[in-house]
């Protein structure tokens, strides 16, 4: 079993839809949770960074962490064609030498005009 599970998709939605992306994990030591967006043939771009459980909002993006269920989500409101990309969840422990990240497999999202 992988430490972090993420549905690879592809996920296709119409423009304006609310998108829900999710990851589950098995290691209860994970404390920091990240979402990255990666366009084709580009480097990952950090979207959200959260510590422990709770919600964080930034514009159209909301990240949720539920440590009791070992489940994290990223919601995208009013999705746009420019949101079409691969979304990677990543996480790490509190005292983690060098900040090694454990990634999910990535979910490919397509937003249709």
Partner 1 sequence: DTEVTQTPKHLVMGMTNKKSLKCEQHMGHRAMYWYKQKAKKPPELMFVYSYEKLSINESVPSRFSPECPNSSLLNLHLHALQPEDSALYLCASSQDSPSGRAGEQYFGPGTRLTVT
Give bridge partners of residue 66 from the DSSP assignment. 71
Give bridge partners of residue 69 from the DSSP assignment. none
Contact 92, 103 (CB under 8 A): no
Chain centroid to Cα 28, Å, comes to 18
| Site membership for partner 1, residue 110 (CB under 8 A) | no
CB of 89 to partner 1, least distance (A): 9
| Site membership for partner 1, residue 42 (CB under 8 A) | yes
| Site membership for partner 1, residue 46 (CB under 8 A) | yes
Q: Site residues (CB under 8 A) for partner 1?
A: 8, 34, 36, 41-46, 49, 88, 90, 92, 94-101, 103-106, 108
């Amino acid at each position: 079993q992988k430490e972090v599970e993420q549905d690879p998709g592809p996920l296709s939605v119409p423009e304006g839809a609310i998108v829900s992306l999710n990851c589950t994990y098995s290691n209860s030591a994970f404390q920091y949770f990240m979402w990255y967006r990666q366009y084709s043939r580009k480097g990952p771009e950090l979207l959200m960074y959260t510590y422990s459980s709770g919600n964080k909002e930034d514009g159209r993006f909301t990240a949720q962490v539920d440590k009791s269920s070992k489940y994290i989500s990223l919601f995208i409101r009013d999705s746009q064609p420019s949101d079409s990309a691969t979304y990677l969840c990543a996480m790490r422990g509190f005292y983690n030498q060098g900040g090694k990240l454990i990634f999910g497999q990535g979910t490919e999202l397509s937003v249709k005009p």
